[in-house]
Amino acid sequence: MSPEQALTLILVVISGLLVARLGPAAIKSWQIYAGTGERRQRDATGRAPAAPPGIVDRLALFAEQGYRPIGVTSLVLPVGERFAWIVAADDAASYAILAGAFGTVAMSGIYSAWPDGTWLATQHPIGQAVDRPGLHVRIVPTTIADAVAQHRAGIGRVSAGHGAPRTIRSIPDMLALDADYRVRFGGSRLVPITRRIVMPAVLAAVVFVLSALLLVSTLR
C-alpha cells in the first residue's frame, strides 16, 4: 500500500468513527426540528410523574411572582416523552413552561400572545433572542424574578400597539396557544441548535464518502 493509500485509509477510518459518533444525535435533532410544526403538547395532568426538585424550586419562585400551577403537559419526541409543568399569571396575561434540564441547565419560558398573532417570550436562563415581526424573544440570564419583571414590561410595550393579550387561565387555554405558536413559527427557533448538531455529522459523512471513493479508485 502506497503512502497516499495509507493516508486515505486513515481518513476513511477517522471520518467513519465520527459519523458513528455524531450521526445518531444529528438524526434525532433533525427529527425534532422537522416535526415541530405538527407536534402538539398534550394534557398530562394526573398521569405525569412527581415534579423533580428542580421543578419544585422554580414553581415556588414563580409563585412568589404571582403565578399559579395549572397543570402538566407532555410532548412525545424522537428521544421519548417529555413533561413540562405549566403556571399561569394571576392576571391571565402570560404563562410559563417549566421544563426539565437541557443538558445541565434547567429551562423556563414565559409567553404571551395577542389576537393578531403577535408573540412575546422571555427565556431563562439561556436561549436564542429573536426580534422580528410577530415574534419577540428575550433572554434573561439572572433570576426568575428578573425574567418575570422584564416580561411584564414587555407586555406593557406590546399591548400599547396591539391591545390586551389573550388570556390564559387553564391548560386548554395554554394548549390552544401552543398549537398557534407551532403553526406560526414551527421549528424556526430550533434552526441554530439543529445546525450546530447536524452540520458536523454531515461534513463527516461527506468526508467519509469521498475518502472511501478515493481509496477504492486507488486500489483498482
Q: How many domains does the chain divide into?
A: 2
From residue 71, give the alpha-carbon distance in Å to each of 42, 86, 172: 11, 6, 10
Distance of alpha carbon 215 from alpha carbon 13, whole angstroms = 11
Q: Do 83 and 13 belong together in one domain?
A: no
* pLDDT for the residue 196: 66
Q: Containing domain of residue 96, as a range?
A: 39-186
Is 112 found in the same domain as 159? yes
- Shared domain check, 45 and 147: yes
Residue 169 within any structural domain of the chain:
yes
Asked if 16 and 85 sit in the same domain, the reply is no
Asked, for residue 192, whether it belongs to a domain, the answer is no
What is the rounded distance in angstroms from the CA atom of residue 192 to the CA atom of residue 207? 23
Q: Which stretches of the chain score pLDDT less than 50?
A: 37, 102-103, 188-191
Position 110 in a domain: yes
Contact call for residues 180 and 113 (beta carbons, < 8 A): yes
Residue 68 located in a structural domain: yes
Give the model's pLDDT for residue 188: 47
Find, among 106, 108, 64, 93, the residue nearest to 154 by Cα. Answer: 93
